[in-house]
Structure 1
Amino acid sequence: MAKSKTLFSIFLVLVVILVTAKAQSFHQSISPASLGLQEEKLSHLRFYFHDVVSGPNPTALRVAQAQTTNNSATSFGAVDVIDDTLTIAPESNSKVVGKAQGIYAFASQDEIGLLMVMNLVFVEERLNGSTLSLLGRNTVSSPVREMSIVGGTGVFRFARGYAQAKTVSFTAQEAVVEYNVFVDPRFDRSLSPKSLGLRKEKLSHLHFYFHDILSGQNPTAVRVAQAAMTATSPTVFGAVMMADDPLTVGPEPNSKVIGKAQGIYASASQNDLGLLMVTTRNKGFSHEKNCG
């Protein structure tokens, strides 16, 4: 168990770093030339990720593992749900700028390699309420690990970019990771095609209703994993659900079905009912030209 927690801590100490800054700052613009770019501008966010794996108030909970995980040198098969604090400085009592909510899984048998799927939820200044979605592979033994920013909400709608992580410190209880995130700001202001760098293209708008059935004779969402403390959590923190939910053209359950939402969602917040959503579609949308 101690070995497992140590490996977990090492992993948590991933920090994203790309450019070293002398002064502590959370959000700034940087020169494209410094990154080998010519015409585009990038927004740079730097913060510290605190992953608490033990103690009275852990922010990372083990929700599932394989029968062989405890005997694995890399904790292969372990899955953890996180609600980690993001701060402006490495100290845990420094100013909070957001939360990292999501899942990481130990997905390598040869090294400590993590699959990272999480939302960066910001509360600071003009970014309050906005999120960035991070997806990627994190090999803990590497000095710097790079992951993709695949989307966002709020001022980060249509965001694209990358994050680099670098270990700052870790103990048996907590890992501190510095994140440097670089996002193309052309995608964080407007939904107009012109602002997105598009000319003749148009944006599509899909409107449908998602039916998540948790009980009864034919539930479409089932709980597949949870932490030991999930049952006593007011936000069901740590619960992981598998869903195969119908999408309909109207709010009524018997209205026309146009597709399916298939995937998982996890309760990834200790303070409110905040879900990490990872879903796709089965055979695509079944309605008219969107079929497939």
Structure 2
Amino acid sequence: MTLYLQDRSTGPNATVVPITGIPGQLWSSSNFGTVLCSDNPITEGLDEHSAQIGRAPVISDDPITESIDKNSAEIARGQGIYVTSSLDGANTLVLLSIVFTNREYNGSTLEIQGRSIQLASVREVSVISGTGKFRFARGYATFETVYLDTSIGYSVIRCNVTALHY
């Protein structure tokens, strides 16, 4: 299954924001101890306008769409927490629920947890569980940043999920 997390870190519609960090230091994804919050949509395609099938969270709640186009249909939300967990800022602990919001998977979830190497071109994290259509899910998910515009705080992350479930 391929999903696209639409990630906005600036503006009134930000889906991911830092919520805590080390006092006196910049709170960013590259600084140890920073906890981010997000709500990003998960989409079926690369286009941000493709269908959203869920949402994915830094604390996050990202729309997840069916394509990279930000206007593609939302199929999920990515809701979770990302914690910069290494002193050098290179690794993140990912706790993510993909909450499906459309069609055949509506109300089902996939639970993702593990260490993500921030600067790797492809990051792999475990699928540890699920609900609804994804009960007892086990597997892995890869994340790849396919679009990044730092000037407006916008990125699209392709998530490929491989999981076995009942």
**TM-score where L is the length of structure 2:** 0.80
Aligned: 1:179 with 2:159: yes
Q: Which is richer in helix?
A: 1
Q: Pairwise mapping of residues 68-79 of structure 1 onto structure 2 (< 5 A)?
A: 69-70=25-26, 74-79=30-35
Residue equivalent to 1:142: 120
Change (3 A) 1:130 1:55: same
Aligned: 1:163 with 2:141: yes
Q: Which amino acid aligns with 2:35?
A: V
Q: Determine the C-alpha separation between the residues in 1 that align with 2:113 and 2:106.
A: 21
Q: 1:72 Cα shift?
A: 8.2
Aligned residues: 142
Q: Could you tell me whether the CA contact under 8 Å between 2:31 and 2:88 is conserved in 1?
A: no
Q: Determine the C-alpha separation between the residues in 2 that align with 1:128 and 1:67.
A: 41
Residue equivalent to 1:121: 99
Q: Which amino acid aligns with 2:74?
A: V
Q: Determine the C-alpha separation between the residues in 1 that align with 2:89 and 2:19.
A: 21
Q: 1:158 Cα shift?
A: 0.9
Residue equivalent to 2:18: 62
Partner of 2:72: helix, strand, or coil? Answer: coil
Change (3 A) 1:77 1:93: same
Q: Could you tell me whether the CA contact under 8 Å between 2:124 and 2:140 is conserved in 1?
A: yes
Change (3 A) 1:116 1:89: same
Q: Determine the C-alpha separation between the residues in 1 that align with 2:27 and 2:13.
A: 27
Q: 1:102 Cα shift?
A: 0.8
Of structures 1 and 2, the larger Rg is shown by: 1
Q: 1:111 Cα shift?
A: 4.1
State the percentage of identical aligned residues: 36
Q: Pairwise mapping of residues 233-272 of structure 1 onto structure 2 (< 5 A)?
A: none
Higher relative contact order (CA 8 A, sep 6+): 2
Q: Determine the C-alpha separation between the residues in 2 that align with 1:123 and 1:64.
A: 29
Q: Which is richer in strand?
A: 2
Q: Which structure 1 residue ranges, 5 or more long, are not aligned?
A: 1-44, 189-292
Change (3 A) 1:69 1:152: farther
**TM-score where L is the length of structure 1:** 0.46
Q: Which structure 2 residue ranges, 5 or more long, are not aligned?
A: 37-58
Change (3 A) 1:70 1:89: same
CA RMSD of aligned residues (A): 1.7
Partner of 2:75: helix, strand, or coil? Answer: strand
Partner of 2:70: helix, strand, or coil? Answer: coil
Deviations 1:90-143 (A, max 9, x none): 111111110000100111222431110010001232111100000011112112
Residue equivalent to 2:55: none
Q: Could you tell me whether the CA contact under 8 Å between 1:111 and 1:139 is conserved in 2?
A: no
Change (3 A) 1:62 1:95: same
Q: Which amino acid aligns with 2:23?
A: Q
Q: Determine the C-alpha separation between the residues in 1 that align with 2:2 and 2:120.
A: 20
Q: Which amino acid aligns with 1:160?
A: R
